[in-house]
Amino acid sequence: MSKTIRLDSTEAAKFAAKIQERSGEPIDMCFQCGECSSACPVSSDMDLMPSTLVRFTQLGLKDELINAKTIWVCASCFHCVTRCPKGIDIAKVAEALRQELLRKKLDYVEVRDLSMEERQEIPQIAIISNLRKFSR
Amino acid sequence: MAKKIGAFICQCGGNISNVVDVDKVAKALDDEDIELAEIETYLCSEPSIERMKEVIEEKGLDRLVLACCTPKMHLKKFQRVLKEAGINPALVDVINVREHCSWVHENDPEGATLKATDLVRGGIKRIEKSVPLETKEIDVTPKVLVVGGGIAGIIASLRVAENGIDCYLVEKEPSIGGHMIQYPKVFPTLDCSQCILTPKLGDVWDSSIQLSTLSEIEDISGTLGNWKVKLKQKARYIDIEKCTSCGDCARYCPVKCINEFNVDLDKRSTAYIPFLQAIPPVYTIDPEHCLYFKYGICKICQKICSADAVKLDDAVKFAEINTGAIILATGYDLYDPSVLGRYLYGKHPNVLTSLQMERMLDITGPTTSRIVRPSDGKSVKKVAFVLCAGSRNNEAGANRDEGVPYCSTVCCLYAQKQAILLRKLDIDVWIHYIDIRSPGTKYEDFYHHTQELGVNFIKGKISEIMPTPNNDGRLIVRAEDMLINRMIENEVDLVVLCPPILPSEGTEELAQKLKVPLNEYKFILESHPKLDPLATKREGIFAAGMATGPKDIQTTVSEAEGAAMKAVNFVSAKKEIEPNKAYIIPEFCNGCRECIKICPEEAITIIDEKAVINDLACTGCGLCVPICSENAIDMQSYSEEQLLAQIKGTLADSKAELKILVFVEKELVYTAADIAGVSRLIYPSSVRFIPLPSNARLKLSYILYAFANGADGVMFLEAPEEEGPVPEAHKAAEKIIEEYQEVLEDDYDLDSSRLWFSRIFVPDWRKLATVFDSFHQLIVDLGPLTDEERKELMQAWSKGKKLPQVQ
Amino acid sequence: MKIPYFPGCSLKTIGEGFEKSAIASAAILDFELEELPRWVCCGTVSSLTTDDLMHHLAPIRNLIRVEDIKETQLVTLCSVCYSTLKRSNALVKNDPEKLKTMNQFMDKENEYQGSVKVLHFLELLREMGFDKIKEKVKKPLRGLTLSPYYGCLLVRPKEFGIDNPEDPTILQELTKALGADVIDNPYQLKCCGSYHTVDKPNLVADLGYKILTYARNSGADALVLSCPLCAFNLDNRQREIKRQYPDFVEIPILYFTQLMALAFDLGEEKLGFDIHYVDPVPLLKEKQLLIDSLPLIKEK
Ligand SMILES: Cc1cc2nc3c(=O)[nH]c(=O)nc-3n(C[C@H](O)[C@H](O)[C@H](O)COP(=O)(O)OP(=O)(O)OC[C@H]3O[C@@H](n4cnc5c(N)ncnc54)[C@H](O)[C@@H]3O)c2cc1C
Ligand code: SF4
Ligand code: SF4
Ligand code: SF4
Ligand code: SF4
């Protein structure tokens, strides 16, 4: 399959518009400065950089986005938000992308995956927030 | 005395007469109270001009109406003819029957003839009411004041002085030199900054320029071309005349304080000279830290000075100077990056600003150009630069109060300059950028050269600088390499921030005193960003260098040269004041101050409870005229009497079936209509133009009067908001017409769509046809007003009118 | 003064010492922290999409309970609860339409009027003035050097934070008022890894290593913070950190309220040190801030 991205795809444009709408963020304003990635404490563990997440969203590259590890790595810590010179809240973009999957009933973490020991040790707050982020 | 009016109608070799039946027009004027109506083949030709002179003489004419091509062609020439004949040039009017009539109604000779007749009749009625107007001339004080002694101010004042004009140079610091004297080298040539600047400082000292350091503008009064400026000079506590700059005071002074010249990287004595080539070449005492001023003790400097130059009883001085023009060269200050917490500036000693790096690279700087870590004085092996450290931060960003939205323009280049100098010391350099901006051949070459020297460029802005976890003085910068989308981490010894360029501190207050508007980023606003970049919005006040925005030294110097020449020109000639101003009729004015609020030029003041308009400031925009509830404001050239007479003359006796009166802005819209004529655009002959400075000058009563006298529709064609000559009025015109539409509908039961507003850009002249076609069709559909309706409107008008009596 | 207070899930378990010490020291300052009746879990993370109102229901329910008892303020201790409650509150206050929609979901509850202000306990302290707090100190924490740690939600995003998101000072001011020394730790704002502790403990350990090592190397004796989740990640996960970084040296974690209780000399039973992973007791004894040597039972 060709790796060329077709920019005339209406599907892609629709997906971009949907994520923009759902996140409420001015995604088109990103000028790829990279501050978000630099600020992000977990970007080293991401497959797509936060900046790339935004770029791909501009282009509406749905498959790449929803298969990205990044949307599950984002910790919603809002570092990027306080730094982005264009005022884009990437935590919201990531959430909007996660929702794309979660609303289709694809959970990322399931409670039964956690061992008994883990369940005992890890505080509720962590488990609940994790589940809230990563499942329906 | 009866007015003796002559009318000439030009055939323009058929250009007019092939469409307009000029004989018929002349005939129709029989009823008018004029001395003659003559037809000429080419009114602008020598024989016709001769004929004109002859008739003026013969018939004793004292005013003329000329129906021909656009006044933009020959009005000036005709005015000269009148002047020679001893008649005031305000007493000739050109009625455009070519571009605005014959050429645009080629398909409708009959309509064109009726229209031409109406236009000429309107012109005759108008000229009856015209009065002689004089162009005033004022003397300008032949002196120039330059504010700010950076490279811009230095170059500007040298140029002014070279032209034999008296020049004052005012600098707030103890020495001139500005920021450039702080740099070791300058891009793109990498020549030694102090070597090229020091001779210029000396030139100022040796020239006739009156230099006043430690000084700022306290106050300004007077009027255009003749300002009185009050200067406030701080005490230096050292006598300029006596000081031999031996430096003993500094050597013996026991107090050390922050050295602002080295941007806080080291300390200096309280008795000091900012740098050794300073001009004036004398020392200064800084009272803020001096023991004598704090505790009344010490006085060591006074005792040690063999020249007896120290005078601790020195005081603030005030001086008043007269000047004809002012050049603002107040330069820049750097943004304080400690506001941007993420960069650890002010928290970690090894994070520096670019200006600090300039000083560190300088052989006369705090480290004599050794590059060391301020934390421990160890030598530096690796440096990272953060470009756009606060610049290009959009206001919509999450932290609205941080940084600035614009590009600071010079950082991409000076960072490379510093990188080159560091490379020459064998230091590893990493420049983190968003975009490298190096437009122009020289600068792209410079970029190329920087690459050649092995400077590393990383596209990807640093947002996180952290001390190493073991806190050994090194810093970890973390960034994404945007070209490969991978995170990189780099341990460096120093981080250099390139913060935004701001207008220098105090620019805003100075601008307020001078009533010079600023742009949205608080830099001084140019009169026109493209076509008049060296003038401010206030006549006679010019600006150069960083005062108007970030720029390099080359551009700064070009601007300084240009501003100097503009100022020299300005003070070398008498200033002509066009007779197109608004004026107050004092008997009517009740001192309500409404006009003062609206005037964008602050031209109106109150004297003895009556408004007074300053001719020097008024642009003749007309905004204040309709605002006055007492009808106390009128205008030269576009007086109420003239306009009403022209409205009536154009409409009342017209034989045309349908008449649309169009008020056109007289510069841009008028020109667009001229171009439409030249291009033979076709539009309905029902439209009749009356030119004006802006539609904001129109009162509602004129509109009523137009409808009462036969208009079936009225149109306002306004210039674009920013580009027209009087922007505030162009802006307001739209709101004014909306108000009028409402009143027409509510109070006079008139369909408000009979009043139409449109903005016309010069290149968009084709739009005129669309606008006129559709409005004409609309009026056709609505039908003409009935006589009954007109009668009612006339009654309403005469009841409401309160016409000021013009001399 | 009585103020309703929202504990949230953690303060009843891992944050036990946080709650006990907060209530006890608040009393010294004349605040009676009164547990909000019938509170429900806030949901822990705020919903970030424009079209998801469901997850704002729980926080709003809690705010309705505040209105039910005729109060206008709600104090939290946990940074996560704070942020979640505050964001939902702001959402409905700024958007009457959304408030209407959400009120329609409340079948048993009264409608939310939007009258409640959500506060973090630290904000209350700042409001009353750190000078006043200083006056109440009986046993100044002399000799103790602390590294403040803020993490994310206490200060970010800016609209919902309690202090400057890039350069906060509130914890510094408090600790200084209690007589301790503070170091400047640039890692004080770095994320602790938050809920990734569930699925990516190694990542959490990486982050913790930097924060804690910097503090240690800059002369801090302990970290002071305000969030039970941060505390878990920075305290309990020191086990994983040690596993990944053999050079790592343990460092105790303290809640700011524990410091207050210590300085107000309220007795060890209010401190809840027994459930800490890294025991702060030896340190505090060394600094002579704890004298009575109750045998503490520790289960690791
Ligand atoms: C770190 C750095 C390095 C740079 N390197 C280069 C380079 O290598 N090459 C290059 O081309 N450009 C360089 N630039 C740009 C260069 O500095 C500017 O183009 C230049 O300084 C502009 O000159 P100026 O006279 O307008 O302003 P300034 O140099 O700022 O001078 C303004 C003067 O006005 C005085 N002043 C201000 N307000 C008042 C007042 N109210 N009353 C009286 N006096 C006042 C100030 O004290 C100062 O002396 C660099 C800029 C920076 C920040
Ligand atoms: S919110 Fe997500 S993307 Fe943004 S900095 Fe935090 S983890 Fe990274
Ligand atoms: S910080 Fe903002 S503008 Fe820069 S790359 Fe990230 S999202 Fe785009
Ligand atoms: S000149 Fe370069 S570094 Fe400076 S603000 Fe513009 S793009 Fe950024
Ligand atoms: S015409 Fe315009 S500039 Fe002149 S006084 Fe009136 S409002 Fe001011």
pLDDT higher than 60, residue B537: yes
Out of A42, A45, A96, name the one closest to residue C49 (CB).
A96
d(CA B464, CA A34): 11
**pLDDT exceeds 80 at position B396:** no
Q: How confident is the model at residue B801 (pLDDT cuts 50, 70, 90)?
A: low
Parts of chain B belonging to CATH 3.50.50.60: 139-234+316-331+504-577, 337-500
- What phi and psi, each to the nearest 5 degrees, are found at residue C34? -110, 120
Candidate of B386, B391, B394, B551 to mutate for ligand 4, largest count of ligand atoms within 8 Å of Cβ: B391
pLDDT of residue C294: 52
User: In which band, very low, low, confident or very high, does the pLDDT at B703 lie, cut at 50, 70 and 90?
Assistant: very high
Confidence of residue C300 (pLDDT cuts 50, 70, 90): very low
In a domain, A3, yes or no: no
Max CA-CA distance within chain A?
52
Look up the domain containing A79 and give its range: 9-133
The domain B638-807: what is its CATH number? Answer: 3.40.50
Chain mean pLDDT for chain C: 89
What's phi and psi for B765, nearest 5 deg?
A: -65, -25
**Per-residue confidence (pLDDT) for residue A109, from 0 to 100:** 61
Question: Which residues, at least 6 apart from A110, have a Cβ–Cβ distance to it below 8 Å?
Answer: A135
> What CA–CA distance (Å, rounded) separates B496 from B221?
45
Proportion of chain B above pLDDT 70, given as a percent: 98
Mean pLDDT computed over B635-642: 94
Q: Give the model's confidence band at B546: pLDDT under 50 very low, under 70 low, under 90 confident, else very high.
A: very high
Q: Long-range contacts made by residues B515-521, C-beta under 8 angstroms, separation at least 24?
A: B515/B602, B516/B328, B516/B541, B516/B543, B519/B549, B521/B404, B521/B405, B521/B406, B521/B549
* pLDDT tier at B806, thresholds 50, 70, 90: very low
A82 to chain C nearest CA, in Å?
6
- Kindly tell me the burial class for residue C1, based on how many C-beta atoms sit within 10 Å of its own C-beta (0-12, 13-18, 19 or more): exposed
Q: What is the DSSP code (8-state) at residue C32?
A: E
In a domain, A62, yes or no: yes
Assess C11–A contact: CB distance below 8 Å, yes or no: no
Partners of B802 in the beta sheet? none
Domain-located, residue C300: no
Distances from the Cα of A115 to the Cαs of A107, A110, A118, C234, in angstroms? 18, 11, 5, 22
CA-closest candidate to residue B147, choices B335, B283, B321, B286: B321
The per-residue pLDDT for range C186-233, each reduced to its tens digit, is 999 988 888 888 888 888 999 999 999 999 999 999 999 999 889 999
Chain segment C50-96, per-residue pLDDT in tens: 887 878 888 888 899 999 999 999 999 988 889 899 998 998 888 88
Do C104 and C187 share a domain, yes or no?
no
Domain of C181, in residue numbers: 139-286
Q: What is B1-135's CATH topology?
A: Rossmann fold (3.40.50)
Residue A1: inside a domain: no
C298, part of any domain: no
Q: Give the percent of chain A with pLDDT over 70.
A: 86
Ligand 3 centroid vs C159 CA: distance in angstroms? 19
What is the number of domains present in chain A? 1
Q: What is the pLDDT of residue A103?
A: 78
Indicate whether C86 and C172 sit together in one domain.
Answer: no
Average pLDDT in chain B: 94
The confidence band for C138, taking pLDDT boundaries of 50, 70 and 90, is very high
Question: A34 CB under 6 A from ligand 3?
Answer: yes
User: Into how many domains does chain C fold?
Assistant: 2
Give the CATH number for residue C20: 1.20.1050.140
Q: What residue ranges line ligand 1, CB within 6 angstroms?
A: B 147-153, 170-173, 178-180, 183, 186-187, 216, 329-332, 354-355, 358, 410, 414, 417, 504, 506, 510, 545-547, 551-554, 556
Distance C69 CA to ligand 2 centre (A): 38
The pLDDT assigned to B399 comes to: 53
Q: Please list every residue in chain C whose beta carbon sits closer than 8 Å to the beta carbon of residue B467.
A: 186, 214
The CA B698 to ligand 5 mean position distance, Å, reads 13
Same domain assignment for residues C215 and C256: yes
Q: At residue B464, does pLDDT exceed 70?
A: yes
Look at ligand 2, atom 4, and give the residue with the nearest C-alpha. A80
Is the pLDDT at A116 greater than 80? The verdict is no
**In terms of Cα–Cα distance, which of C164, C170, C165, C166 is closest to C182?**
C170
Class of domain B235-313: alpha beta
**Over residues B594-602, mean pLDDT:** 92
CATH at residue A43 = 1.10.1060
How high is the pLDDT of residue C57? 83
pLDDT of residue B1: 59
Amino acid A110: pLDDT: 55
Any domain includes C107:
yes
Q: What is the pLDDT of residue B805?
A: 38
Residue B320 CB neighbours (<10 A): 11
For ligand 3, whether the C-beta of A51 sits within 6 Å is yes
Please determine, for residue A76, whether its predicted confidence score (pLDDT) is greater than 80: yes
* DSSP state, residue B372: B
Q: Model confidence over B370-388: pLDDT tens digits?
A: 999 999 999 999 999 999 9
Instruction: Report how far residue C204's alpha carbon sits from residue C237's, in angstroms, rounded to the nearest whole number.
Output: 8
Residue C293 lies in a domain: no
Query: Which listed CATH number (3.50.50.60, 2.30.110.10, 3.90.100.10, 3.90.79.10) goes with B139-234+316-331+504-577?
Result: 3.50.50.60
**C165 and C87 belong to one structural domain:** no
Structure tokens belonging to residue C35? 């547990």
Q: What is the CATH number of the domain that holds C237?
A: 3.40.50.11810
Angle between helices B767-782 and B668-678 (to 10 degrees): 90
Look at ligand 4, atom 4, and give the residue with the nearest C-alpha. B411
Homologous superfamily (CATH) of B337-500 is FAD/NAD(P)-binding domain (3.50.50.60)
ipTM: 0.88
> What does the pLDDT average to over B539-555?
97
Chain C residues touching A53 at Cβ < 8 A: none
Q: Which of C122, C157, C190 is the last residue of a domain?
A: C122
What is the β-pairing status of strands B271-272 and B486-492? unpaired
CA dist B155 and A37 (Å) reads 46
Task: Report whether residue A88 contacts ligand 2, using a CB cutoff of 6 Å.
Answer: no
Q: Could you tell me which residues come within 8 angstroms of residue B216 by beta carbon, excluding any fewer than 6 positions away?
A: B170, B172, B231, B232, B506, B510
Of A31, A39, A48, the CB nearest to B463: A39
**Domain boundary residue, one of C97, C122, C147:** C122
Residue whose CA lies nearest to ligand 4 atom number 8: B388
* In chain B, % of residues over pLDDT 90: 90
Sign of the torsion formed by the C-alpha atoms of B771, B773, B776 and B780: negative
Q: How far is CA B20 from CA B100, B506, B672, B719, C79, in A?
A: 12, 63, 22, 29, 85
The predicted structure's pLDDT at residue A2:
63
Query: Which ranges in chain B are annotated with CATH 3.30.70?
Result: 235-313
CA B231 to ligand 1 centroid distance, Å: 22
Instruction: Kindly report the nearest CA distance between residue B465 and chain C, in angstroms.
Output: 9
